[in-house]
Amino acid sequence: MNINHIAKKPFFDLFYRSPCMALMLRAAFHDAGTFCKNSKTGGPRGTLRHSHDLDRPENAGLDFAMDQIEEIKDEGNHITAMLSYSDLIQLGGYTAVEYTGGPVMLFRMGRKDAEDHDEHTPEDRLPDVREGSSNILTKMHRMGFTTQEFVALMGSHTLGFAHQDRTGFQGRWTQNPHVFDNTYYKEVLLGERSKFLKTPVEHMLAQNSEMKKLCEAYAQDQNLFFEHYALAHVKMSELGQEEHLLSEFEENQPKYKLPESSYLQLNSFSDPQKY
């Protein structure tokens, strides 16, 4: 067992008990997605644990994920006890993808939490699905993502649900919201013929010719999607923290591996929309 395996173990145990993988992945994006590449502010700094960030409307529902992070910090193991909050939130995202059958991303620890407990993440950084597609894309570019990385990251919506009382949208994007695969793109390309959720983001992906081509490529080739997704996800999780990260890996070691098997036990999900 290497450090990555030991660090991920408490999250595997959590997901076996409570299948909150999608919520944990969303929390990872909401802690990291506040990054601005020009001012180098925001990013994964653990500010989501403070009520001034957690109580914002865009973070509705993430309190359950943060409670689990606190529990793992207190009662995980000797490796998770050493990790910062921002490390733990990002580790939760990595493990959620791995647990549901997605790429196995190699985690680098060492993120520094925001030093000042009163530090507020600047408002209006996270994309809001109601604000129109060009604003959403502008915000993803402000974080430093290319259009290709944006399209790859959207495939994370293969997992989970939208909840009316959190964002005003209701439903799921794919048939099986507990499996990380490329079905999100297949549903996007089906357009009106798909019975699953379509927000303005899905309409943009299907209508913009550059994005549509990427969706077609990912829908046809799951390994290509996993490769692009893993690289974009690792980038997201390290935004603005690169200089602090400790690496247990050799220089040329790949940042991810394709999954060999899924840890998923579908029968264990008695109440899939509970989280």
Annotated catalytic residues are: 30
The interface with ligand HEM within residues 5-24 (CB under 6 A) comprises 22-23
Comparing CB distances to ligand HEM, the nearer of 3 and 176 is 176
CB of 41 to ligand HEM, least distance (A): 19
CB of 140 to ligand HEM, least distance (A): 6
Query: Which of 90, 156, 182, 222: binder of ligand HEM (CB under 6 A)?
Result: 156
Query: Which of 166, 212, 255, 257: binder of ligand HEM (CB under 6 A)?
Result: 166
Secondary structure in 3-state letters for the chain: CCHHHHHHHHHHHHHHHCCCHHHHHHHHHHHHCCCECCCCECCCCCHHHCHHHHCCHHHCCCHHHHHHHHHHHHHCCCCHHHCCHHHHHHHHHHHHHHHCCCCEECCCECCCCCCCCCCCCCCCCCCCHHHCHHHHHHHHHHHCCCHHHHHHHHHHHHCCEECHHHHCCCEECCCCCCCCCCHHHHHHHHHHHCCCCCCHHHHHHHHCHHHHHHHHHHHHCHHHHHHHHHHHHHHHHHCCCHHHCECCCCCCCCCEECCCCCCCCHHHCCCCCCC
By CB under 6 A, tell whether 234 contacts ligand HEM. no
Comparing CB distances to ligand HEM, the nearer of 63 and 82 is 63
By CB under 6 A, tell whether 56 contacts ligand HEM. no
The interface with ligand HEM within residues 101-130 (CB under 6 A) comprises 127, 129
The interface with ligand HEM within residues 75-94 (CB under 6 A) comprises none
By CB under 6 A, tell whether 143 contacts ligand HEM. no
By CB under 6 A, tell whether 160 contacts ligand HEM. yes
User: Where do contacts with ligand HEM occur on this chain (CB under 6 A)?
Assistant: 22-23, 25-26, 29, 61, 127, 129, 136, 140, 153, 156-157, 159-163, 166-167, 169, 199, 201, 233, 275
